[in-house]
Copies of this chain bind each other. A is one copy, B any other.
Amino acid sequence: MNRPAEMISPASARIQGGVFGPILEGIRKTMLPYQWKVLNDEIPGIEKSHCIENFRIAAGISQGEFYGYVFQDSDLGKWLEAAAYCLMAHPDPELEAEADAAVELLAAAQQPDGYLNTYFTCTDLTKRFTNLRDCHELYCAGHLLEGAVAYYEATGKSRVLEVLRRYIDYIADFFGPGEGQCHGYPGHPEIELALCRLYDLTREEKYLRLAKYFIDERGKQPSYYEEEQRKLSREFFANGAYGLKYFQSHLPVRRQTKMEGHAVRALYLASGMADVALRTEDEALFRACKTLFDNVTRQRMYLTGGVGSTYIGEAFTFDYDLPGDRAYAETCASVALVFFAARMLQGDLRGKYADAMEAALYNTCLAGMSMDMKRYFYVNPLTVFPEADEKDPGKQHVAPERKPWLACACCPPNLGRLLSSLPRYAVSVSENLAAVHLYVSGTYRIRAGERPVSLRIDTDYPRSGEIAITVSGEADLALHLPEWVHRYTLKKNGKPAEYREKDGYLYLSGPFSEDCLQMELELTPERVYANARVRDCAMQAAVRMGPVVYCAEEADNGDSLHLLRLPEKVPLRVIPEKLNGFSLLEAPGWRLEAADDRLYSTEHSVRRKAAVIRFIPYCLWANRGKGEMRVFLYESGE
């Protein structure tokens, strides 16, 4: 295994302009202050969070009872992490003061022995770590730790790191292979990633060892979870009939070849596996990650980068099962897919990983929030028919409109931490190479091994295919050539550049000195077809331009979108009108309508009328009122 590439710190980048400049500013100025108010229950009329109040009760500052899910603490961890990334990029005394308050609350809620979890502190501390499978303690610890590491890195303030290290040291004593230690592992992976980050920061082997222990212990027989449930005198609860697959613990992880069970768990686990493999040079483990990556992206991923085909257990089902209307495609799962793909790029620089990041980021992740960043989707279907979502209980997980908060509030702060840390996923560095995976406009002052590299990316990508990169430094440069590109040009200082194309990247040799690279990726709207094995897409085509998947909405096209017919050959046109800076598309097509009221008849009883079909980016749907939406439209021959 080659020495893996490293993610860059968000502190080394300034995201400006383009699609993400305003989004990052919005996160700092709007989303995080809003979410802080939500966590403090200061916004009336929305789902109660009680997250901060749980900490206050655990700390003895407030009286009351714990409220919310067992994983309510994680919301604060993610919020703190996102706040840290924002502070890296931009000073913000108000935000920092809120974060400091959160830190003090964490410290106050910590038990004398280091334990830190409000659910068990508020209910029954003797039950701690007795139900690893269901109670999310290690998951919450992971999120708090990621927040702590990021906050320390952002501010240099060690307080929160000390608090979390005490807790993690407690955990590292409690869990492990030793006699008298607990041989369990988290029901919901996440701490594995956090432990690797703590290891990167401290270089203390025990943190990496614990992450590796959690990974390797998982799925051994006899099953820790089965034993645990027996001790709890509980029947083994086979979540949605998945059994141990639901928890990715049906097999040791190295022998798992399919992404199974709860989608977010599966992708956090895979990310943790990759993290450990990269740090321990464990090629076999990294190979297992590759297998899982290929399975999820080649058999189980929606065109929009969404994953998780059923709401029952928020889970994967089986290969090629990708129903658009019943999709779960949780926002968090696409966030997790970005995490996983970015880690794969560290060990295996191939375009397919960056392609998956693009699909997830530009479609499902961005769709997860409203244009004003104050309303959120948890579930991101590809076909929406509000009447069905209301009246078919099998579709009641589908909300046709974003909500200001969610009882299970994992997604909004997860979006916050992903987007505020975008540089981690946009660029990676290794000994002599800086690699650009996502064309995120901004400046990057980074080091490829010992060599400083400065990059300035100016682009409106993916709203435009023009990307200008000004680069200085001795290292080589690799630029992602997305899978969707049919034609492109790459110039250096106005002349055709010299480069080598390999595995979805264009390699340019350094040194560079304020060299200006001009990349033009030809953006053309095109049809996309799912593999014929995908039953739910039969006879249908989707429309994509660049990495941006489009959809037809009721607001433009009327209702009954299943009656639109997109002719196979007609051109898809870019129209002058835009939405949030994104181009809109149109195509001349047809609209069918029922010619009579008979439920069944022996002839096609439809009328066909010419109709111009308008498409908007999927990530912008449901910003103009409630209505139908479809990504895949039926085709007609002419």
Chain A residues at the B interface, C-beta cutoff of 8 Å: 240-242, 297-299, 301, 303, 309-313, 315, 317-318, 321, 326, 385, 387-388, 391-394, 396, 484, 526-535, 538-539, 560, 562-563, 592-595, 597-606, 634, 637
Contact = CB atoms under 8 A, between A and B. Distances in A.
A208 to B, nearest CB: 34
A539 B317 contact: no
A618 to B, nearest CB: 14
A297 B637 CA distance: 33
B560 A530 contact: no
24 contacts: A240-B393, A298-B598, A301-B599, A310-B392, A315-B393, A317-B391, A318-B387, A318-B388, A321-B388, A321-B391, A385-B535, A394-B394, A528-B601, A529-B600, A531-B594, A531-B598, A532-B563, A532-B593, A532-B595, A532-B605, A532-B606, A533-B594, A535-B562, A538-B634
Given A388-B321, A539-B634, A634-B538, A394 B531 contact: no
A89 to B, nearest CB: 34
Contacts of A315: 393
Contact of A600 (B531, B562, B604): B531
Given A528-B601, A532-B595, A538-B563, 14 more contacts: A240-B393, A241-B396, A309-B392, A310-B394, A312-B393, A313-B393, A317-B393, A318-B388, A318-B391, A321-B392, A529-B601, A529-B603, A532-B560, A538-B634
- In order of increasing CB-CB distance, the 8 nearest A-B pairs are A312-B393, A532-B594, A240-B393, A318-B391, A317-B392, A535-B562, A539-B539, A532-B606
A393 B531 CA distance: 23
B597 A298 contact: yes
Contacts of A562: 535, 538
B391 A602 contact: no
Contacts of A595: 532
A530 B600 contact: yes
Contacts of A598: 298, 531
A532 B600 CA distance: 9
Contact of A602 (B309, B392, B528): B528
Contacts of A534: 599
Contacts of A312: 393-394
A538 B591 CA distance: 13
A392 B240 CA distance: 9
Contacts of A603: 529
A97 B19 CA distance: 82
Contacts of A563: 532, 538
A298 B531 contact: no
B600 A303 contact: yes
A99 B387 CA distance: 49
A595 B531 CA distance: 9
B599 A531 contact: yes
Nearest to A239: B393
A311 B241 CA distance: 16
A562 B530 CA distance: 13
A600 B388 CA distance: 27
Contacts of A242: 393
A247 to B, nearest CB: 15
Nearest to A245: B391
A321 B528 CA distance: 27
Contacts of A605: 529, 531-532
B310 A526 contact: no
Contacts of A634: 538-539
Contact of A637 (B298, B311, B532, B637): B637
Given A312-B393, A394-B326, A394-B394, A526 B599 contact: no
Contacts of A606: 532
Given A393-B241, A535-B385, A526 B602 contact: yes
A602 B527 contact: yes
Contacts of A604: 529
A300 to B, nearest CB: 9
